[in-house]
């Protein structure tokens, strides 16, 4: 059976709704940032079966790898370099339909074909970390992903940076 784009979107939206409920239930009683981020990353990876899901934290002029699931990743990324570095520099979400078309893309894995990166900010709106997700499919991410991942970013901010 071939699903229409509308039914795929409806299914994805329901998956996010269920995922966000799980995230809230898991992190509500826990105060440790790394424990909560690790569970959020695991839920995202297992729900959507993306190639790579992880967190990078700002560390002076670099991004340093945090909890992740997937292939081995770049440990440090200079702010301003690659998709993650641009997200940190601009403090805004970035969707890349084809990583080969992104000037300066850093290939941590040759399997990555598309990417979405979502900033995490403190209560003053200052960049502190980001959610980085790679897919092994071209043009995999859309505004449904962006909207829901930005909401998850706000959950993280409210729990740990408020």
At 148, is the pLDDT very low, low, confident or very high (cuts 50, 70, 90)? Answer: very high
pTM summary value: 0.93
pLDDT in tens, 107-141: 777 789 999 999 999 999 999 999 999 999 999 99
**Residue 101 in tokens:** 């078309």
Residues 6 or more apart from 140 whose CB is under 8 A from it? 50, 113, 114
pLDDT at residue 7 greater than cutoff 80: no
DSSP conformation letters of 31-69: --HHHHHHHHHHHHHHHH--SEEEEEEEETTEEEEEEEE
Q: Mean pLDDT throughout 28-49?
A: 97
What confidence score (pLDDT) does residue 106 get? 75
Domains of the chain in sequence order: 5-160 (3.30.450.40)
Helix (H) or strand (E) holding 96: strand 94-96
Taking residue 150's Cβ as centre, other Cβ atoms within 10 Å add up to 15
């Amino acid at each position: 059976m071939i699903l229409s784009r509308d039914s795929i979107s409806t299914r994805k939206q329901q998956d996010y709704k269920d995922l966000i409920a799980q995230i809230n239930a898991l992190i509500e009683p826990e105060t440790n940032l790394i424990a909560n981020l690790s569970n959020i990353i695991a839920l995202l990876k297992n729900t959507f079966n993306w190639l790579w899901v992880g967190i990078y934290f700002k560390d002076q002029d670099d991004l340093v790898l945090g909890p992740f699931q997937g292939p081995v990743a770049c440990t440090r990324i200079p702010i301003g370099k690659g998709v993650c570095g641009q997200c940190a520099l601009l403090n805004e979400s970035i969707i890349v339909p084809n990583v080969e078309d992104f000037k300066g893309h850093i290939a941590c894995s040759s399997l990555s074909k598309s990417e979405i990166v979502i900033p995490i900010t403190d209560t003053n709106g200052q960049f502190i970390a980001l959610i980085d997700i790679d897919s092994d499919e071209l043009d995999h991410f859309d505004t449904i992903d962006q909207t829901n991942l930005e909401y998850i970013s706000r959950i993280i901010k409210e729990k740990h940076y408020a």
